[in-house]
Amino acid sequence: MVSDIYYPSKKSDDFCEDVCGESTPGIVSMSRLRCMLRGLDLKAIVFLVVFVPLCIVGIYFHGQKITYFLRPIWQSPPKPFIELTHYYHENVSMENLCKQHGWGIREYPRRVYDAVLFSNEVDMLTIRWKELYPYITQFVLLESNSTFTGLPKPFTFAINRDQFKFVEPRLTYGTIGGRFRKGENPFVEEAYQRVALDQLLRIAGIEDDDLLIMSDVDEIPSRHTINLLRWCDDIPPILHLHFRNYLYSFEFELKHRSWRASVHRYQSGKTRYVHYRQTDYLLADSGWHCSFCFRHISDFIFKMKAYSHTDRVRFLHYLNPGRIQDIICEGSDLYDMLPEEYTFKDIIGNMGPLPHSYSAVHLPAHLLDNPEKYKYLLPGNCKRESG
C-alpha cells in the first residue's frame, strides 16, 4: 500500500529526468524550460524578466554616477593641506606683508619663470600673461601638434603669435611633434610633453632659487601673489596655490577648491614640471581657475575630445552643440557627472546646477579693462559663438 502511494509521487518528481531522454530536440528544450520554471513563482519571473534588464540598462547609462555617489565608501579623502593665511592690501608695504606671513624681506626680488603647455586657449593665455606681466622674467611656452589623446592640431600659438608681441622680448617658445600613439593612455602623452617643457626651461636660462610657476593656462595666479613670493625670504621650497574655481565663465563658482597650481624655488636636477600634489602647504586665495572658459562652442567640443579625461565623453550626444550651449547657461556638468566629493553630505549638497553669481569683483585686471572683448566671461553672458 505504501509502495502504491509512493510510486506515482516518485514518477511525478522524476518527470524532468524522464523527458531528458526524449529524442526530439524541441521537446527536450521546452521540457527543460518547464523544469526551470516549475520552482519559480510569478514574482520571481517578473523580477528576472523586468527588473534585471532594467538594472543592466541603468548601470550602463548611470554606472559612473553610481560609482561617484559611492565614493565615500571606496575612497578615503586625501590628506588635508596645511593652509597658509594669505595677507594682502595694496596700501600695505611689502615688508609688512612678508612679516605677516612669517617671512623675511629680500634685498632684491627673485627672478620668476612662468611655464605652460599650450593647446588652444588664446583668450585665457592673454588674460594670464597680462596679469603676470609686471613680475615675470621669462614666459616659457611649449606647444605640440598633437593633443594628449593623439588628435592632430595646428600650432595655434604660432598662428596667433602677433597678439602676444607685448611679451616677445621675454618669450621662450618651443614646439614638439606629437607621437600619435593610437589607443595609448592620454596621460602618457601629457607626461611626455611635460618632460619636454623641463628641457625648454633650461634653454630659457632658469637657475637655482628662481621662482617657477607650474600651472595650466586657465589656472591664473594673481599678480600680487607672485610679487609677494618673489620679494619674501624663507618661503617654502614648494607651495601650492589655492584658486577660486570657476566653470564656463566667472559667473559660476565651484565650491570645491582648485589647488594643483604651484610655485617652486627651482633646484637643478630636482625640480620637475608636473601637475599633481607635491607638498602639504597651500597658500589661500591666490588666483583664479576658469575651466572650460571658451568663446566658441567648437572649442568646448575640441577640449572634450582632446584632453586627458576624454573617457568622460561616454555618449556621442554629449558633443551636441545645442546641448553644450544649454549646459553652459544652466551651469550644469558637461559630462553629467556627480560632484567629486568624499562625504555623502557634500555630494548631495553640491548636486545640480551651480548658482549664478553677479559679482565681478577681484577678477583679473585685463578682463575688466576689456569687458566688451571678454563679455562671454562675465556674469550674465552665457551665449557662445558657434566657432
Which fold would CATH assign to domain 82-295?
Answer: Spore Coat Polysaccharide Biosynthesis Protein SpsA; Chain A (3.90.550)
pTM attached to this predicted model? 0.82
Q: At what angle do helices 223-231 and 122-132 cross, to 10 degrees?
A: 40
Query: Cα(241)–Cα(220) distance, rounded to whole angstroms?
Result: 10
Query: Cα(147)–Cα(155) distance, rounded to whole angstroms?
Result: 11
* pLDDT > 70 fraction of the chain, expressed in percent and rounded: 83
Grid coordinates belonging to 140: 616659457
74 closest CA partner among 344, 370, 380, 381: 344
Do the beta carbons of residue 357 and residue 331 sit within 8 Å?
Answer: no
> Burial level of 242, CB count in 10 A (0-12/13-18/19+)?
buried
Q: State residue 65's pLDDT score.
A: 66
Buried residues in 11-38 as b, exposed as e (16+ CB within 10 A): eeeeeeeeeeeeeeeeeeeebeeeeeee
Q: Using alpha carbons, list the distances in angstroms from residue 37 to 41, 155, 166, 233, 323.
A: 8, 65, 79, 80, 46
Grid coordinates belonging to 63: 554606472
Query: Cα(311)–Cα(171) distance, rounded to whole angstroms?
Result: 35
Query: Cα(228)–Cα(339) distance, rounded to whole angstroms?
Result: 33
Q: State residue 306's pLDDT score.
A: 83
pLDDT averaged over every residue in the chain: 87
Query: Cα(81)–Cα(78) distance, rounded to whole angstroms?
Result: 9
Q: State residue 282's pLDDT score.
A: 98
Q: Which residue stretches of the chain have pLDDT < 70?
A: 1-49, 52, 54-65, 68
Please write the tens of the pLDDT for every residue from 28-38. Answer: 566 665 665 56
Domains of the chain, residue spans: 82-295
Query: Cα(213)–Cα(87) distance, rounded to whole angstroms?
Result: 20
